[in-house]
Chain A
Amino acid sequence: MSLVSIRDVRKSFGPNEVLKGVSLDIAKGDAVAIIGRSGSGKSTLLRCINGLETYQSGSIVADGIEVAGANTNLRELRRHVGMVFQQFNLFPHLTAAENVMLAPTVVNKVSKAEARATAAEVLAKVGLSEKMDAYPSELSGGQQQRVAIARSLAMRPKVLLCDEITSALDPELVNEVLRVVEQLAREGMTLILVTHEMRFARDVGTKLVFMHHGKVHEEGAPKEVFAAPRTPELQQFVGQVG
């Protein structure tokens, strides 16, 4: 059974239909890379999965919870579905460790000591043990993004959504973040990544999804899809981004 199941989802902003019937199944342990042109609806799809956006029809079931159900407890859903953003969105008034500890202590009512131990563990995992007590403004972009990943990991999510998490970084900082994500994928974390890093999508992804005009235009095993794109749109896209 799939961990995230998306069925014929349609979403409009006013008259502008952005998702035109998207269906997608994501199994536990998948690392799904979503690629596509700007405006094709990648971010919108990702944001629908954790309820940051609502959709007009279709259904999304994540970890057994219908996202847009009448009685859906979004809080319960979001405890199991983490999200990392392009702009990091760290809380600037809290240190790295406090950023990571906030949700476990406030939402899961874990003790400060236990949360701090978890923070130490997940920050070590992203290679930032020495930066526990640094404020976001004292960290580089790459470090901030790794703190943001650690902050999501502290909630022990079943799925992690990543929306172009390296796009705001200087080129020399991209790899340190990608390495962390690659490590997560190898450990079996279920990942849904919107990315412009084609090489990463091909090498790390277990599944590739090409979105075009609000639809899943092509999907399959990354290496095969990249080697032999079936549709002219994907051929053109792969040709452009190289």
Chain B
Amino acid sequence: MLQFSFWDILSNLLIATQWTIVLSLIAFFCGGIVGLVLLFMRTSRIAPLEWFTKIYIEFFQGTPLLMQLFLFFFGIALFGVEVSPWMAATLALTFWTSAFLTEIWRGCVEAIPKGQWEASSSLALSYIEQMRYVILPQASRIAVAPTVGFSVQVIKGTALASIIGFVELTKAGTMLNNATFRPFLVYSLVALIYFCLCFPLSWWAKKIEGRLNVAR
């Protein structure tokens, strides 16, 4: 039987951590883009667009992420399309992230005083121009802290991709545990690595939030 030293375990976990980071970045980046499009739809005051985004958000916020992963992994396969765990995880996490980001950002947009909309309307700006030049530059300042805060949830969310067989940090931990039978050591290391990824982000989010509060 293969022998695993502490360093073997750690280095294997760190290699898998790369995939956790890559998956998080892609989910966050793509989720951000989809979220921005949804944000425009959600605040457009065009009824069908608002309804679509409301239902979309309710669905992705109101069902477990794990179930969404299963739907993408097994559901798409029903249509005869082969889906890799990688693809399913990316899609599910992107949509899930976008739903939460849209809601976070909508709150920030709604925090901008109505007078800003009325003044820019009166200057003949269209809705897209108002968002682009007047509302988002102000809303994005207050959005930074909660957005960074949410990125922690995305990182933790990627752990669920292990269940459909995507080899990231959690999956690697499970595999190493099966090979070494040292669950306490392995999972302690896994937890420690997650903590090292998440803590700086939540610390940073708290710091920006504090700074904004002082500025008011």
Chain A residue contacts of B141, Cβ below 8 A: 93
Q: How far is the CB of B4 from chain A (nearest CB, A)?
A: 55
Say how far A111's CB is from chain B's closest CB, in angstroms: 16
Establish whether residues A75 and B122, one from each chain, have CB atoms under 8 Å apart when the complex forms. no
- Chain A residues near B126: list those with CB within 8 A: 75
Chain B residues contacting A148 (CB-CB under 8 Å) are: 119
| CB closest residue in chain B, given A108 | B124
Q: Which residues of A contact B58 (CB under 8 A)?
A: none
Pair A78/B123 contact, Cβ less than 8 Å: yes
With beta carbons under 8 angstroms apart, the residue of A85, A92, A155 that contacts B124 is A155
Smallest Cβ-Cβ distance to A52: which chain B residue: B118
Q: Is A106 an interface residue (CB 8 A)?
A: yes
Contact with B along A49-64 (1 / 0, CB 8 A): 0101000000000000
Are B115's CB and A78's CB within 8 A?
Answer: no
Minimum distance in angstroms from B131 CB to a CB of chain A: 12
- Of residues 121 to 176 in B, which have CB atoms within 8 Å of A's CB atoms? 121-126, 129, 133-134, 137-138, 141
Interface centre among A52, A81, A103, A151 (most CB of B within 10 A): A103
B121 touches A151 (CB 8 A): no
Q: Are A106 and B133 in contact (CB under 8 A)?
A: yes
Q: Looking at the complex, which one of A52, A90, A106, A155 makes contact with B121 (CB distance below 8 Å)?
A: A52
Contact B123 A85 (CB under 8 A): no
Complex alpha-carbon distance, A8 and B31, angstroms: 51
Q: CA separation between A90 and B121, bound complex, in Å?
A: 13
The residue of chain B having its C-beta at the shortest distance from the C-beta of A77 within the complex is: B124
Contact A102 B122 (CB under 8 A): no
Interface residues of chain B: helix, strand, loop or mixed (majority): helix
Let me know if B122 and A82 touch, CB within 8 A: yes
CB distance from A46 to the nearest CB of B (A): 11
Partner of A93, one of B113, B118, B120, B138: B138
Select B116's contact among A91, A106, A107, A151, beta carbons within 8 Å: A91
Which single member of B113, B116, B122 contacts A52 (CB below 8 Å)? B122
Q: How far is the CA of A151 from the CA of B120 in the complex (A)?
A: 10
Within the complex, the shortest CB–CB distance from A78 to chain B, in Å, comes to: 4
Q: A75-B126, A155-B124 are known contacts. Are A102 and B119 too (CB-CB below 8 A)?
A: no
Q: Which residues of chain A come closer than 8 Å to B137, judged between CB atoms?
A: 93
Q: A92-B138, A93-B137, A93-B138 in contact; A78/B121 too (CB < 8 A)?
A: yes
- A contacts with B, residue count (CB < 8 A): 24
| A72-104 interface with B by 8 A CB criterion | 75-76, 78-79, 81-83, 85, 87, 89-93, 102-103
Contact A89 B133 (CB under 8 A): no
Q: Per a CB cutoff under 8 Å, which of A76, A87, A103 touches B123?
A: A103
- Within the complex, the shortest CB–CB distance from B3 to chain A, in Å, comes to 61
A4 → chain B, closest Cβ, in Å? 15
Given contacts A92-B138, A93-B138, contact A87 B122 (CB under 8 A): no
- Are B122 and A50 in contact, CB atoms less than 8 angstroms apart? yes
Contacting residues, chain A, for B115 (C-beta < 8 A) = 85, 87, 89
Q: A75-B126, A103-B124, A106-B133 are contacts. A89–B119 as well, Cβ < 8 Å? A: yes
| Residues in chain B near residue A82, CB distance under 8 A | 122-123
- Whole-angstrom distance between the alpha carbons of A85 and B114 in the complex? 12
Distance in angstroms between the alpha carbons of A31 and B43 in the assembled complex = 37
| With contact pairs A85-B115, A91-B116 given, residues A107 and B122 touching in the complex (Cβ less than 8 Å) | no
Q: Which residue of A lies closest to B123 (CB)?
A: A103
Q: 8 closest Cβ contacts across the A-B interface?
A: A89-B119, A89-B115, A103-B123, A78-B124, A83-B122, A79-B124, A107-B124, A93-B137
List residues of A whose CB falls within 8 A of some B CB.
Answer: 50, 52, 75-76, 78-79, 81-83, 85, 87, 89-93, 102-103, 106-107, 148, 151-152, 155
Q: Taking A103-B123, A107-B129 as given, write out 18 further A-B residue pairs in contact, using a Cβ cutoff of 8 Å, ordered by the A residue number.
A: A52-B118, A52-B121, A52-B122, A75-B124, A75-B126, A78-B123, A78-B124, A81-B122, A87-B115, A89-B118, A90-B119, A91-B119, A91-B133, A93-B138, A102-B125, A102-B134, A103-B125, A151-B123
Q: Can you list 8 residue pairs at the A/B interface with Cβ under 8 Å?
A: A76-B124, A78-B123, A89-B113, A89-B115, A90-B119, A151-B123, A152-B122, A152-B123
